Amino acid sequence: MTLSFPNPSRSYDESRRRVRFVGHDGLNQIRFFLPVEILAGDLLSRSPTERDFLTAFDGMRKRIFEIAAKVYEARRRDTIELDPRSFGLNA
């Protein structure tokens, strides 16, 4: 099976400063966590809101899913924390 993202839902976890989304590999659900620093860009120059982070996620959705699939292929776990290095950012 290959990883897919049939559910467009995503949620913001303010306490952990990350966005959660789900992928599926056959019947297996894979949980992904994306630190907001990856989405922040120029948002950090002000006080970003949940909506700002989720809108940024939506704007980067295709790239996020591509990178999430590559990371999943390498790790094959049911929970994956994406990291800035996967996006070419300094950690």
Question: How far apart are alpha carbons 31 and 80 in whole angstroms?
Answer: 6
Residue 91 pLDDT exceeds 60: no
60: left (phi over 0), alpha (psi -120 to 50) or beta: alpha
In the CATH scheme, what is the code of domain 3-85?
3.30.160.140
Residue 72 pLDDT exceeds 90: yes
Burial of 48 (0-12, 13-18, 19+ CB in 10 A): middle
Domain boundaries, the chain: 3-85
The SS3 assignment for 50 reads helix
Q: Which residue has the higher pLDDT, 76 or 20?
A: 20
pTM: 0.90
Torsion of CA 4, 8, 13, 18, to 10 degrees: 50
| Nearest C-alpha neighbor of 79 from the set 40, 28, 13, 36 | 28
Q: What is the mean pLDDT of residues 18-31?
A: 96
